[in-house]
A and B are shown apart, each in its own frame.
Chain A
Amino acid sequence: MVFSRHPVSAAMFMIVSLVGVAALFVLLESFFLAILQVLVYAGAVMVLFLFIIMLLDVGPEAGKGKLSHFKTGIFGLLATVLLVGVLLTLGNSYDSLALDQSIWPELSESKDGASHSLPFSTKVSSFGYGLMTKYMLPIQVSGFMLLAAMVGVIILSKKTPDREDLK
């Protein structure tokens, strides 16, 4: 996705990778988050991206300046080295950990969700229970954050004819 110059094709590859991440969530047995991933990311965020791409009518990136390209090349090389190092480290620690076959714990679908430690569950109701008890304050804060983002976006995109006076 990052190597395609045209924004529309980059967005299409991005949708593919987001749906792939949703499939990984299914593999991790959290179906609610997979549904949420498809709805929020592939449904809302990428539609917004494509809308803005087509609104602004951005084409592929043209030829680049010499110096900035050199700099970004160096930083890209640095990022690649970091990535390969991390992969090698994980790959070396792979053998010792992979032998433990009970590394995916069994899910215990107990009826009582009243324990305080919020065990992992595939049910949506346990999500709701956790959000309404332990994470009561964060969900309200995130609600206010969404409200603030909405108001901010409306103000940002509003036409202000007297903005020239402010300058």
Chain B
Amino acid sequence: MMLSVTPQHFLILSFLLVGIGFLGLLIRRNVLLMLMSLELMLNGINVALLTFSRVGSNLDGGIFVFFIMTVAAAEVAVGLALLVALYKKRNSVLSDDMGLLKN
């Protein structure tokens, strides 16, 4: 075969993307950056799905990638609108300042 890239490479990169996204979700306190990390995790899942779809010669994984993109776009729109509404109330985008029930 002409390709020396195996599905393992794609899967390792997919795990890396999900892991980096999870790490960013944990270490960032800005909610905007946390949303961006969520997007990164979804991208990693997309890479894994498409790899398995290609290996298994089945288009269902590709169609699921399509749906995940749709859901991610809607999620970003709603999340950013919530964030703007929260910013109007609290004047902050840090997750530390959002513990309404804590005190």
Contact = CB atoms under 8 A, between A and B. Distances in A.
Contacts of B82: 156
A86 B19 contact: yes
Contacts, number: 208
B55 interface: yes
A82 B84 CA distance: 34
Contacts of A18: 43
Contacts of A149: 74-75, 77-78
B62 A33 contact: yes
B29 A120 contact: no
Given A14-B40, A30-B62, A45-B76, A2 B28 contact: yes
Interface of A: 1-2, 7, 10-11, 14, 17-18, 21, 24-25, 27-30, 33, 36-37, 40-41, 44-45, 48-49, 52-53, 55-56, 58, 61, 64-65, 68, 72-73, 75-76, 79-80, 82-83, 86-87, 90-91, 93-94, 97-98, 101-105, 107-108, 117-121, 126-127, 130-131, 134-135, 138-139, 142, 145-146, 149-150, 152-153, 156-157
Interface of B: 1, 3, 5-8, 10-13, 15-17, 19-24, 26-30, 32-33, 35-37, 39-40, 43, 46-47, 50-51, 53-60, 62-63, 65-67, 69-78, 80-85, 87, 93-94, 96
